[in-house]
């Protein structure tokens, strides 16, 4: 089964954010049992070549990779999908109009994504136009909701055809609502509103969690797509525990 199918079926999926633009990290994570990874090209120093190499490594290792792109520009979307990413996650989706434009730019067709038969997904020229179009007619697109406007317009956004899933950006929502605690009431109310709208419109929903402490609560809201921690946090926390243990003697 493909990742997009599993997301649509609302299977319980776990991934993590990747902040290190290095292929070895991708190889290691492919051995971890994760369902997918999110390459964080929004907040981490992924250059175009590093991103391409990491996507290629993920494909070779059989690890589905979503790229959180820094913007929804046509050239950014084209570059990531041409490199062969499993899908894209797009920050700061605030309106249905924005979501519809995102879908258009991600799909082939008039006014949409430019076609090239020489890309990695097109087997570097060894796939036919018809086969490549069929295999890539519905890209995986995750709309990140992390602004007050996005929360207020969530019912319209959730109904946009072609948006695979919604993703709650709780930290950005925390800042947007003038809070410093992601568990503050205005933030959690906004999260619940997104989850409720996702249920009504049968749209899968995901979120980031620093750890698994609140996992059950989120599962009960209908959330099924989880990005838990990052490889940076796992390295820090793992070795911190080891260091504290050794230094305690």
Count the helix, strand and coil residues of the chain and give each as a percent rounded to the nearest 5. Answer: 45, 15, 35
Q: Which of 43, 132, 201, 247 is catalytic?
A: 43
Q: Determine which helix (DSSP H) or strand (DSSP E) holds 133, and give its type and residue range.
A: helix 129-135
What Cα–Cα distance (Å) separates residue 147 from each residue in 91, 94, 159?
10, 7, 18
Which of these, 87, 112, 103, 92, lies nearest to 35 by C-alpha position?
Answer: 87
Q: Determine which helix (DSSP H) or strand (DSSP E) holds 196, and give its type and residue range.
A: helix 185-200
- Specify whether 132 is catalytic: no
Label the pairing between strands 205-209 and 140-145: unpaired
DSSP 124: G
Give catalytic residues, as residue numbers.
Answer: 43
């Amino acid at each position: 089964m493909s990742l997009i199918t599993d997301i649509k079926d609302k299977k319980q999926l776990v991934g993590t954010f990747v902040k290190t633009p290095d292929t070895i990290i991708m190889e290691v994570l492919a051995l971890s049992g994760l369902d997918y990874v999110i390459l964080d090209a929004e907040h981490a120093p992924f250059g175009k070549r590093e991103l391409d190499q990491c996507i290629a490594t993920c494909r070779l290792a059989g690890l589905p990779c979503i790229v959180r792109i820094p913007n929804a520009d046509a050239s950014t979307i084209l570059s990531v999908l041409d490199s062969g990413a499993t899908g894209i996650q797009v920050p700061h989706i605030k309106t249905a109009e924005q979501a519809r434009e995102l879908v258009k730019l991600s799909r082939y067709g008039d006014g949409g994504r430019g076609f090239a038969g020489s890309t990695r997904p097109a087997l570097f020229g060894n796939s036919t136009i018809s086969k490549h179009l069929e295999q890539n007619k519905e890209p995986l697109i995750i709309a990140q909701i992390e602004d007050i406007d996005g929360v207020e317009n969530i019912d319209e956004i959730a109904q946009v055809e072609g948006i695979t899933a919604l993703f709650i950006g709780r930290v950005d929502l925390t800042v947007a609502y003038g809070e410093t605690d992601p568990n503050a009431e205005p933030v959690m109310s906004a999260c619940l509103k997104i989850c409720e709208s996702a249920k009504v419109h049968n749209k899968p929903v995901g979120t980031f969690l620093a750890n698994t402490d609140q996992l059950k609560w989120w599962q009960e809201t209908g959330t099924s797509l989880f990005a838990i921690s990052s490889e940076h946090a796992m390295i820090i926390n793992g070795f911190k525990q080891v260091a504290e243990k050794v230094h305690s003697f």
